[in-house]
Amino acid sequence: MWPRLGAWYRRHAGVRMRSALAAAAVVAVVIALAAAAFLFLYHRSLLDSLDADARRRAAAVAAELTRPEPPGQASGAIPPERGDLTPVQILGPDGTVVAASPSVRGLPPLTPLRPQPGRTQRENRSPVPGQSDTYRVAALGVARPDGTYTVVVGESREAIDDSVEDAGALLLLGCPFLIAVVAAATYLFVGRSLVPVEAMRRKVSVVTADRLDERVPVPEARDEVANLAETMNAMLDRLQTQVEARRRFVADAGHELRSPITTLRGGLEVLAARPLVTRDADLVGLLTAEVGRLDHLVDGLLWLARADEHGLHTRHTDVDLDDLLDAERRRLAARYPALRITAEPTPTRVYGDAGQLAQVLRNLADNAAAHASSAVRLVVAPSADGHTAVLDVADDGPGVPPAERDRIFGRFVRLDPSRDRDSGGVGLGLAIVHHLVAAHHGTVAVHEAPGGGALFRVVLPTEPDRPAEPNRPTSPPHDATDDA
């Protein structure tokens, strides 16, 4: 039980709960020690008061006993007091009872104490047979001409014990309430102290690469929480500066590369138009392919840089996915005549950007064609509940290992079986697909296709909330053969 409670406490008890429990534990210990000290001192005070009463009564009896009387006559030395309910005995020099109050008359000596004259001794006893009360017995030595007498007075402790028990009961009832009040107050005050921290947490939770201009609120109180907020804002300033510098670098580099790429492409086309020997013609063809690949890379980098900096601009309309699928099937069949292209278009309509959704389908289809052994299968259909549309693109190639299925949508990801450059892919097509699907509030994932191969599944809501549209329209580039 205790290990499970400890595990729950470590996992689920927050700062407020831990503070409240700690405060309750400290207060409980302090109250327990204070209550124990109070009861001890209270009991001691009542006992001292009881002893004082016993000494007073014994002194009164001793004063009567020391009056001149014939030797051995002590029966009149016990004056009546409080109805003679207090047990009083006078013991002679030989220890026998020479006088007693009515409550203990006829009983043997109440105590074996025999103090010296003028000395008082005390002990706890139950002197009256048939009674359960404990008595505080005081024995006072009295000197007389015929010897030393002993005055014994017993005071009942019942009132003291009852008073201490009542005080203990009140403390026992009141202390848990006080501890609960302290715990609740601590929980409340710590919660109020953590309000700025919660506001900071909510603000940080919405900070993304597209919203690095967000800043956490700084509380007015100049305390540790304010210092933390200022430190986090300084960190966000540094991150924003670095990210903006990286984005500017990518955009500037892409623009600067455009001119030399165009020049290279034009020069190679001029060379290709001239009569060349076979080896030179092969070299020109190879360089042309590499320039095309570099052009795709620059287009992808520029598109992703614009998407990171300004977001995606989507023109939402009703889009028939089955029409897009049929058009893609015809394009794919014309481009890859050696592959068996099959399509199963079920009438399916979503609300989105037709151009961007067509680009999603094209990137996935070209990716599948680049890695297929003999066939590519395209399927689109509404889900059973009608709230989403499902788009499947499958091939019969080597597939994607389970450990790589999340990483494959990153930028410049090329899996080990496909590191050759024959396909011309630059590793940005699936990253673009991921961006476009996310902009449509959908999901994309890769699974194992029936019979082997890779199955890319895109799930799109049929009626998503219309997203905010930045004022910079972008048209995603096409990367035909990302590695899958």
Q: What was the pLDDT predicted at 92?
A: 87
Mean pLDDT of 317-327: 88
Element holding 136 (H helix, E strand): strand 135-144
Q: Over the stretch 359-383, which tens digit does the pLDDT of each residue have?
A: 888 889 988 888 888 899 999 998 8
Mean pLDDT of 103-127: 81
* Most confidently modeled range among 247-251, 271-275, 404-408: 404-408
Q: What was the pLDDT predicted at 297?
A: 63
More confident residue, 386 or 168: 168
For residue 430, is it left (φ>0), alpha (ψ between -120 and 50) or beta? alpha
Mean pLDDT of 303-314: 61
Asked whether the predicted pLDDT for residue 158 surpasses 60, the reply is yes
Mean pLDDT of 155-168: 86
Q: Residues of 409-439 as b/e, b for ≥16 C-beta within 10 angstroms?
A: beeebbbeebeeeebebbbbbbbbbbbbbeb
More confident residue, 98 or 83: 98
- Residue percentage of the chain with pLDDT more than 90: 7
Q: What was the pLDDT predicted at 242?
A: 79
Q: What was the pLDDT predicted at 191?
A: 82
Q: What is the pTM of this model?
A: 0.46
Q: CA–CA distance from 175 to each of 24, 179, 414 (Å)?
A: 11, 6, 68
Asked whether the predicted pLDDT for residue 29 surpasses 50, the reply is yes
Q: What was the pLDDT predicted at 423?
A: 46
Q: Over the stretch 447-461, which tens digit does the pLDDT of each residue have?
A: 888 888 889 999 988
Asked whether the predicted pLDDT for residue 480 surpasses 60, the reply is no
In which band, very low, low, confident or very high, does the pLDDT at 418 lie, cut at 50, 70 and 90?
Answer: very low
Q: What was the pLDDT predicted at 110?
A: 82
What end-to-end distance do the CA atoms of the chain give, in Å? 50
Q: What was the pLDDT predicted at 467?
A: 39
Q: Over the stretch 127-145, which tens digit does the pLDDT of each residue have?
A: 565 566 778 888 988 888 8
Alpha carbon 313 to chain centroid, angstroms: 37
Average pLDDT for the chain: 77
For residue 81, count other CB atoms closer than 10 A to its CB: 14
As a whole number of angstroms, the distance between CA 238 and CA 244 comes to 10
More confident residue, 299 or 437: 437
Asked whether the predicted pLDDT for residue 39 surpasses 70, the reply is yes
In which band, very low, low, confident or very high, does the pLDDT at 11 lie, cut at 50, 70 and 90?
Answer: low
- Residue percentage of the chain with pLDDT more than 70: 72
More confident residue, 13 or 142: 142
Mean pLDDT of 210-232: 82
Alpha carbon 449 to chain centroid, angstroms: 39
Asked whether the predicted pLDDT for residue 41 surpasses 90, the reply is yes
Asked whether the predicted pLDDT for residue 33 surpasses 90, the reply is yes
Q: What was the pLDDT predicted at 128?
A: 60
Mean pLDDT of 113-121: 88
